[in-house]
Amino acid sequence: MTAGATTPAELLASGGAVLGIELGSTRIKACLVDPDSPTTVLATGAHEWANQLVDGVWTYDLDAVWSGLQAAHAALVADAHARHGVAPTAYRALGVSAMMHGYLAFDAEGELLVPFRTWRNTSTGRAAAELTGLFGFTIPLRWSIAHLHQAVLDREPHVPSIARITTLAGYVHERLTGRFVLGVGDASGMFPIDSAGTDYDADFLARYDRLLREQHGVDPADAPLGRGVRGLLPDVLPAGAEAGTLTAEGASLLDPTGALQPGAALCPPEGDAGTGMVATNAVAPRTGNVSAGTSIFAMVVLERPLERAHPEIDVVTTPAGAPVAMVHCNNGASELAAWAGMFARFAEAAGTPLDTDAVYETLFREALAGAPDAGGLLAYNHVAGEPIAELDEGRPLFVRTPDSSLTLANTMRAQLYGVFATLALGMRTLADEGVAVDRMAAHGGMFRTAGVAQRFLAAALDAPVEVADSASEGGAWGMAVLAAHTATGAGATIADFLTERVFTGADARPEHPVADDVAGFAAYLDRYRAGLAVERAAITAL
């Protein structure tokens, strides 16, 4: 407890707790912790939301950002009061995380120029290819610089008015504090970071500015893009840095009742990849993590640079600026959730309704009885385009041959394998590069059923996979830990802070790969790779 506070109620009443917020793809979550014991979760709150496909663009309305944040914060305050009899009105520190990448462009008056373009959009192929060639460094479709450059290529009318671009976390942070900054991990999904992990790569910035002038006719006198892309980007901060304080305006944005007081210290805003690394203690070389939600991605902290650029591998950074190989798949558990919803409706129609957790538990346990190769069934979870599979659009498919074994167990094993299949394609590229991993951790709702998704992921990666109890609150908890690091870290690196203050005695549950599962998944993946031709045909035909 903070000095002077001996109980959670006293800590809350004194304004000494630390708040983490994460705007995920389907939920906005808030998590309140004791800064001196960050594994002690004092309260949580959440709000469900969803992206919309508007005029071919995956987006969220910014009004929904603020109504969702307010709802999640109100739920957290109510939970704190229910647990401890105190509704907090101040915090020692807080931090904001959100989905990485994407494109939020504002003019000089702070007005949004075009609807928020999320990471899920895959319309930036020409720009990403041109930039990858320019830098000799892979620029994924979803990165902010790819979205900006595609707007330049398409001569979109808003481009001359752009004064700044940022991510969702950076936008929320600026509204709360007035500071135009980003944590280095989130910034590394906007524009490549230098080898020291401290700022955007100066050589790449110069190359891009030259490209704009010489090939795309951007006049250096044009404000502000013509004066250099660096002027559009947020300042970069490492984990532990002070990134401003909660203003009166920011407090009213989080809590329109007026109860929340300004003054909390804010840590640098981060992306969901960074909070996933923190929540699983995967920030040191040779550690990695897998985060599964609407998207699924793996992060591996590198010992050395990759030998060459790979289109399926991003190079981003930890919240401290260390290089990370990222395998990001646009499609994660959304299609699995749709199947679970169908079975939930069947149970209800049969007169035996089950809650969501019970449906998943039942289906996941049944998957354990499936054949190691899923009985010849294939599940493609591509709701949206998937760059790793070279798919510009998504067509969810469930495919089988006449001699396959269509059972519930095989169906559910195929669906779970389908969540991990595209990820496995990218991870095999890392293995071919000789990238070593001593420890892989996983987090996300699909790992709540112990020993099922975790076991199948271990088969997909052919490596042990841990799921830590301490990461149960996911990215919001990871963001609270980053805020606690800023408030109480006293200059310690984030790696030392996690080892010495957060994960001491952590209870992790490792799942080692089962030989039959490894062989079965490999057979499934061979069929999956061949069957991508069916997926491409479906995109053309449907």
- The whole-number average pLDDT for the span 78-101 is 97
pTM: 0.85
Question: pLDDT for 122-139, tens place per residue?
Answer: 899 999 999 999 999 999
Residue 334 predicted with pLDDT over 80: yes
The confidence score (pLDDT) of residue 311 equals 85
What is each CA distance from 201 to 98, 151, 299, 522, in whole angstroms? 23, 22, 21, 39
The confidence score (pLDDT) of residue 5 equals 63
Q: Which CATH superfamily is domain 8-266 in?
A: ATPase, nucleotide binding domain (3.30.420.40)
Residue 272 · residue 328 · CB < 8 Å:
no
Question: pLDDT for 25-71, tens place per residue?
Answer: 889 999 999 999 999 999 999 999 999 999 999 999 999 999 999 99
The confidence score (pLDDT) of residue 153 equals 96
What is each CA distance from 223 to 114, 220, 334, in whole angstroms? 18, 8, 42
pLDDT band at 387; cut points 50, 70, 90: confident
Residue 2 predicted with pLDDT over 60: no
Question: pLDDT for 266-317, tens place per residue?
Answer: 999 999 989 989 988 999 999 999 988 888 999 999 998 888 888 889 999 9
* Closest C-alpha to 244, from 344, 316, 321, 173: 173
- The whole-number average pLDDT for the span 441-463 is 90
The confidence score (pLDDT) of residue 84 equals 98
* Ranges of each domain in the chain: 8-266
Phi/psi of residue 258, nearest 5 degrees: 90, 0
Residue 524 predicted with pLDDT over 80: yes
- Please provide the DSSP assignment of 121-135 as one string: ----HHHHHHHHHHH
The amino acid sitting at 491 is G
pLDDT band at 473; cut points 50, 70, 90: low
- The whole-number average pLDDT for the span 17-24 is 97
* Closest C-alpha to 148, from 133, 159, 163, 132: 159
